[in-house]
Homo-oligomer: A and B are copies of this chain.
Amino acid sequence: MGRFHPEVVIVEALKQKIRDEGIVLSEQVLKVDAFLNHQIDPVLMQKIGLEFARRFAGQGITKIVTIEASGIAPAVMAGLELGIPVIFARKFQSLTLKDDLLISRVFSFTKQTESTIAISARHLTSRDKVLVIDDFLANGHAAKALIDLIQQAGAEVAGIGIVIEKSFQDGRGLLESEGYRVESLARIAALENGQVRFLDDCCAD
């Protein structure tokens, strides 16, 4: 069953961590603040970075773009492995237009607020081929806003790497319908009765 391939080991380690330390708060919300988005497990992040690098190797990717704060750790580990810089978009509740900033807007369903995200135009050019990395994919709004920033710079989007995908929401469908390659390490089919069910649980062993 390929269980001894390193990539399978990494994905299984991530899924086990989600089972062991993830907290299902509702049928929509999984809390992973024990190892991903508040407390961080650096060894797991290194493995995640290795796996992103393996999936997107050999494609001439020049930069990684992510969003503060939870995307930074997996993105930096992928950047280390691929040997390329990482840019993290900053979030603002409001922002006066400044020279030199590319700006987009994201609506957060979780927080029911719109925020502005920005990156400095100095760090992306039309010669860049960019990998987007984020901790979660739900409805795809954050990824879409990052893609918008990359396209404003005239750069190419090489794909989207996600640590945890909530496959019961429509983010992947939205991104794939626009032609983007999405690589999610853990894909969650449902959060029901306080349990995490992964998309591939049906086929294990």
Of the candidates B39, B43, B69, B72, which one forms a contact with A123 in the assembled complex, judged by CB atoms under 8 Å apart? Answer: B39
Whether the pair B120, A33 counts as a contact (CB closer than 8 A) is: yes
The A interface is mostly helix, strand or loop, or mixed, namely: mixed
Closest B residue to A78 by beta carbon equals B42
Restricting to A79-131, which residues have a CB under 8 Å from any CB of B?
79-80, 83-88, 90, 93, 119-120, 122-123
Residues from chain B with Cβ under 8 Å of A80 in the complex: 42-43, 45-46
Question: Given that A93-B93, A123-B38 are known contacts, is A45 also in contact with B85, CB under 8 Å in the complex?
Answer: no
Q: Which residues of B contact A40 (CB under 8 A)?
A: 72, 76, 79, 85-88
Which residues of B lie under 8 Å from residue A69 when comparing CB positions?
68-69, 72, 88, 90
User: Closest CB of chain B to A49's CB: distance in Å?
Assistant: 9
List of B residues within 8 angstroms of A138 by Cβ: none
Partner of A39, one of B35, B38, B83, B86: B86
A68 to B33, CA, bound (A): 14
Question: Which listed residue, B76, B83, B93, B122, touches A76 by the CB 8 Å rule?
Answer: B76
- Per the 8 Å Cβ criterion, residues 9-42 of A in contact with B are 33-35, 38-42
Determine which of B41, B79, B93 lies in contact with A42 in the assembled complex, contact meaning CB atoms within 8 Å.
Answer: B79
Cα–Cα, bound, A203→B119 (Å): 38
When C-beta atoms are compared, the residue in chain B nearest to A123 turns out to be B39
Q: Are A42 and B86 in contact (CB under 8 A)?
A: yes
**Interface assignment of A164: CB less than 8 Å from any CB of chain B:** no
Asked if A73 is an interface residue, CB under 8 A from chain B, the answer is yes
- Report the Cα distance A156→B56, complex, angstroms: 42
6 pairs, A vs B, C-beta closer than 8 Å: A33-B123, A39-B85, A39-B120, A42-B79, A45-B76, A76-B77
* Residue positions of A touching B, CB distance < 8 A: 33-35, 38-43, 45-46, 68-69, 72-73, 76-77, 79-80, 83-88, 90, 93, 119-120, 122-123
